[in-house]
Amino acid sequence: MTKNVDPVRVHHPEDTIRYQLNAMNRQMIAVFQFVVSVGAGFTFGFYGIQLMTGPLDFGFRLLLGIIASLVIALAEIYFLAKKLAEDMDFPDLPKSKAE
């Protein structure tokens, strides 16, 4: 009854296309969130500071926008790298008795 059962043919969830597409989707969402956050930080630094303080020079507004987006980009890169590193950890598979 069990002579055609092969313990080598174990299907792992990491081998499926669905798993790969879900992983790619999570990474694309994280990158899109990074781009939106940096863009929002630049917009705040460029327009938001001027709305709070009054008219400012274009170059100074541009500098404030770049500084704000740089601070947000550094924080987002840290959390993005941390999240992607966690996604790459695979759980240990149980060892078969044949080995």
pLDDT band for position 86 (cuts 50, 70, 90): confident
The answer to whether position 98 is within a domain reads no
The answer to whether position 5 is within a domain reads no
The answer to whether position 76 is within a domain reads yes
Q: What share of the chain is helix, strand, coil (3-state, %, to 5)?
A: 70, 0, 30
What is the tally of structural domains in the chain?
1
- Residues 13-28 pLDDT 10s: 777 888 889 988 988 9
The answer to whether position 95 is within a domain reads no
pLDDT band for position 70 (cuts 50, 70, 90): very high
The answer to whether position 1 is within a domain reads no
The answer to whether position 6 is within a domain reads no
Domain extent, residue 68, equals 17-85
Q: What is the pTM for the complete model shown?
A: 0.69
Question: What pLDDT was estimated at residue 36?
Answer: 97
Residue type, 76: E
The answer to whether position 94 is within a domain reads no
The answer to whether position 12 is within a domain reads no
